[in-house]
Amino acid sequence: MIVVLLGPPGAGKGTQGERLAARLGIPKIATGDVLRAAVRDGTEQGLAAKAFMDRGDLVPDSVILGIMKEVLASPSAAKGAILDGVVRTVPQAEGLCMMLAELGRMVDKFLLFELDEDELVQRLSGRTVCDSCQTPYRGLEPGTTCEKCGGKLVRRKDDDPESIRNRLEVYRAQTEPVIEWTKEKKMSLIEIDASGELDEITDRAMKALEP
């Protein structure tokens, strides 16, 4: 099963993607995590992506499609994957669908996580993430130990107010058109109310994935 998580930054795609992946027994793949690891490792890809990421701008489609090609060819994605934070532009959506078609596969469902803008900003400015395994946390201060891997919690550089504002604008201008595109292509897109308790949201998303 290939599931694409759509929705603005802060809607909980990462957290819910992790939960859905665990329940379905398939990996969650987040291009943001892949890129942050590349930045940390100082690879060529990371160096090229860093400035875009710090500003909250999108990394070029060619870079993202290169990552997706590698990811889809890896044995861990053979049974399926939850794709978090990709696709973010119409060319990415077209590219992903073409790559999948070449492998005789397709996107089974797009889940669109929806949340009020005030709550998005509040969530993003209050979150910390593990600098090692990238798990996001709400309400824990930087420096706290990650309960999952023992890493250290930090604030993401792009969670400062200016980058948050830019990321929301970028979402509206470049990612929202993907929603229209899925409708034009008659693909299965289900809207999920991303407010409330984590378990409630996971249940809504699991229900949306039922055949």
65 contributes a contact to ligand AMP by CB under 6 A = no
Check: CB of residue 16 under 8 Å from CB of residue 205.
yes
Instruction: Quickly list H helices, the chain.
Output: 13-24, 31-41, 44-55, 61-73, 90-102, 117-126, 161-170, 176-184, 198-208
92 or 182: CB nearest ligand AMP: 92
For residue 21, give every residue at least 6 positions away whose Cβ sits within 8 Å of its Cβ, in sequence order, or none.
27, 28, 82
7 contributes a contact to ligand AMP by CB under 6 A = no
85 contributes a contact to ligand AMP by CB under 6 A = yes
CB of 136 to ligand AMP, least distance (A): 9
CB of 170 to ligand AMP, least distance (A): 7
- Which residue carries 């897109």 as its tokens? 189
Please choose, out of 53-61, 102-110, 111-119, 194-202, the segment that lies near ligand AMP by the rule CB under 6 A: 53-61
52 contributes a contact to ligand AMP by CB under 6 A = yes
Check: CB of residue 39 under 8 Å from CB of residue 46.
yes
What DSSP designation does 193 have?
A: E
Binding residues (CB under 6 A) for ligand AMP: these are 9, 30-32, 35, 52-53, 56-59, 64, 85-86, 88, 92, 158, 167
